[in-house]
Each structure stands twice: as structure tokens, then as C-alpha cells.
């Protein structure tokens, strides 16, 4: 118990060290980032240990681009007086939050204006169990932050790699909409396809087998159709498994690229193209599954009709 408490206190102390060093740390990174130089002409970079609301929250570090005016809107009031309202855009934000257990939640908030904002409220890019890794991981977080800012702000100019980073976090990281945590997008796709394959493969065959055994219906006339359906299901199941494995492999490749461990352009380009293609493959797989389900229903109807006779 004492050792566990000491470990928690050590994690909190590590976060405090990063907290105290955060201004110098992020300022040094920003000075060497060409994207920041472009964004700094439009917004002001703010590094706020303690948060933007007075800097008093010792569990929070916020790095963000402040608001800027983007125009004005004039309306006519009930007494025909002119009302002019300044329109602004808030920049993206990188937030670190220390939990009671001494872990750190790293989140990204998009740039937004009153009339334009992304679908997600924010994205949880990492959950760090050990705050001592913040100095190393924060360099990667800064890359996500700048890329997200370039993609979501009105006058951003994201390059290929910045778009790739944003595609990665939107597809593979948890995101929040209306204060509700959403499942990772690719996880949802793989889960739904796998569930559909199992539903057809298991329930369909079980229903038919029970019907045949119960009513002593001879399936010899349609044995070829059964084999065909079984082969189709096995093929789609293998495809689903292969897609899942490939996604994990390419996810690791993209993560290594984002962490600047590898800079093999051809590998990164191939990985990004593969990830985009998976959606198309999954869509085609759904179509095949529907066809198989229709075949099952057709054969089931024949056997049920035969048993009734």
C-alpha cells in the first residue's frame, strides 16, 4: 500500500516538473517549427501552465492559439438601430490533465468559429501512465497539435503529412461528441463486419441444421449451394481478419512516423493509401454479406416449405 502511494506521489511530482518547465519546453519547439511561424502571423501562441482561466489549476497545462477577429456581422434591431457584432475564431488547443491517480490525459481541441466547427468536440490522443515520459512524448503531441490547427482553422495550409496525422488521430483515437466518448472509427467498422460475419455464419447454419435434423429433410439437392455459402463466409471471414491485421500493422507504421522514429516516405505513403482503401473494401464486404444472407433465406424457405409438406 505504501509503495503504491509512493509511486502515485512520484508520478505527481514528475508532472509538476513538466508543469514548471512547460513554457520553456514548448517555446523552444515552436521557434523551430515552420508551421508555427505561419500560424503566429494569424494567431498568438499561448502556453498556460495552470490553464487559461487565471493559471491557478495545478493539474492542467494548456497550449493554444488565441482568438482572432475574422469579420463582423451587422443586423438591424427592433428599433431599426444597427447592431454590429465582431466575429472571431478560436485556435486549436493541446491540453494536459493530471488525474488523481497521477496519470496524464492528453487531449486536442479543434480550431472553431461561431458558424464553423468540426464534428468532434475534442480527441484524446494519449493516456500516459507515467508523466516522466512527457518530455519525450510532448514532441509528438506538438506535431499533432500543429497539424490539427492547420487542418481545422479557416486559413490553415496543411501539407500531406499534417493531413495524414489528422486522419490518423480521427480514425484511431477516441473522440468526444456532446460530452460522450465515441468508439474509434476503425474499431467500429471492423467490429460491425466481424459481428455480421459471425451472425450469418453461425445463426444461419444453426437454424438450417436444426430444421434438417428435426424434420429429416434431405439436403442433398442443395449440398452444392451449402458448400458455396460456406466458402463465401470463410472467404469474407479471412478478409476481415486480414484487414484487421493490416490496419494494426499500418497503425504502428504511422505511429512510428509520427514519433519521428522512421522517415521512409514510400512506406508512409503506402500505409496511408492502404488505410483509405480499407473503407472501400469494407463497403464491398458488406454487399457480399447481404448477398449471402439472401441466399440463406432462400434455401431456408425451401427447406421449411419441404418440411411442412
Q: Which of 24-28, 71-75, 95-99, 242-246 has the least mean pLDDT?
A: 242-246
Characterize the bridge pairing of strands 93-98 and 45-49: unpaired
What is the pLDDT confidence band of residue 112, given thresholds at 50, 70 and 90?
A: very high
| Burial state string for 18-40 with b = 16 or more CB within 10 A and e = fewer than 16 | bbeebeebbeebbeeeebbeebe
Domain ranges within the chain, ordered by starting residue: 2-182, 186-308
What's the confidence (pLDDT) of residue 206?
A: 47
Cα–Cα distance, 160 to 98 (Å, whole number): 33
pLDDT at 207 over 80: no
Cα–Cα distance, 45 to 99 (Å, whole number): 26
What is the pLDDT confidence band of residue 50, given thresholds at 50, 70 and 90?
A: very high
Of these ranges, 40-44, 129-133, 219-223, 256-260, the one predicted with the greatest mean pLDDT is 129-133
Name the percent of the chain lying above pLDDT 70.
Answer: 58
Residues 40 and 124 sit within 8 Å (Cβ to Cβ): no
pLDDT at 110 over 50: yes
What is the pLDDT confidence band of residue 260, given thresholds at 50, 70 and 90?
A: very low
Between 133 and 248, where is the model more confident?
133
Amino acid at each position: 500500500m505504501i509503495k503504491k502511494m509512493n509511486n502515485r506521489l512520484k508520478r505527481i511530482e514528475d508532472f509538476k516538473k513538466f508543469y514548471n518547465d512547460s513554457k520553456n519546453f514548448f517555446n523552444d519547439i515552436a521557434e523551430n517549427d515552420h508551421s508555427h511561424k505561419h500560424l503566429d502571423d494569424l494567431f498568438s501562441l499561448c502556453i498556460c501552465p495552470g490553464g487559461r482561466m487565471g493559471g491557478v489549476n495545478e493539474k492542467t497545462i494548456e497550449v493554444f492559439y488565441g482568438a482572432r477577429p475574422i469579420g463582423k456581422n451587422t443586423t438591424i434591431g427592433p428599433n431599426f438601430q444597427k447592431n454590429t457584432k465582431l466575429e472571431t475564431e478560436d485556435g486549436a488547443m493541446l491540453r494536459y490533465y493530471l488525474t488523481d491517480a497521477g496519470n496524464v490525459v492528453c487531449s486536442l481541441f479543434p480550431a472553431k468559429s461561431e458558424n464553423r466547427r468540426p464534428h468532434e468536440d475534442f480527441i484524446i490522443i494519449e493516456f500516459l501512465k507515467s508523466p516522466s515520459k512527457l518530455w519525450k512524448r510532448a514532441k509528438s503531441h506538438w506535431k499533432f497539435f500543429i497539424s490539427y490547427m492547420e487542418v481545422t482553422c479557416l486559413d490553415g495550409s496543411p501539407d500531406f503529412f499534417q493531413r495524414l496525422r489528422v486522419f490518423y488521430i480521427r480514425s484511431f483515437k477516441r473522440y468526444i461528441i456532446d460530452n460522450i466518448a465515441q468508439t474509434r472509427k476503425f474499431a467500429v467498422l471492423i467490429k460491425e463486419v466481424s459481428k455480421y460475419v459471425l451472425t450469418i455464419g453461425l445463426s444461419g447454419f444453426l437454424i438450417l441444421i436444426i430444421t434438417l435434423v428435426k424434420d429429416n429433410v434431405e439436403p442433398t439437392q442443395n449440398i452444392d449451394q451449402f458448400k458455396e455459402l460456406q466458402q463465401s463466409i470463410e472467404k469474407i471471414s479471412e478478409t476481415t481478419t486480414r484487414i484487421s491485421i493490416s490496419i494494426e500493422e499500418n497503425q504502428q507504421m504511422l505511429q512510428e512516423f509520427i514519433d519521428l522514429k522512421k522517415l521512409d516516405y514510400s512506406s508512409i505513403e503506402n500505409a496511408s493509401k492502404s488505410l483509405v482503401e480499407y473503407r472501400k473494401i469494407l463497403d464491398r464486404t458488406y454487399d457480399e454479406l447481404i448477398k449471402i444472407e439472401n441466399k440463406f433465406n432462400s434455401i431456408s424457405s425451401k427447406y421449411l416449405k419441404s418440411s411442412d409438406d
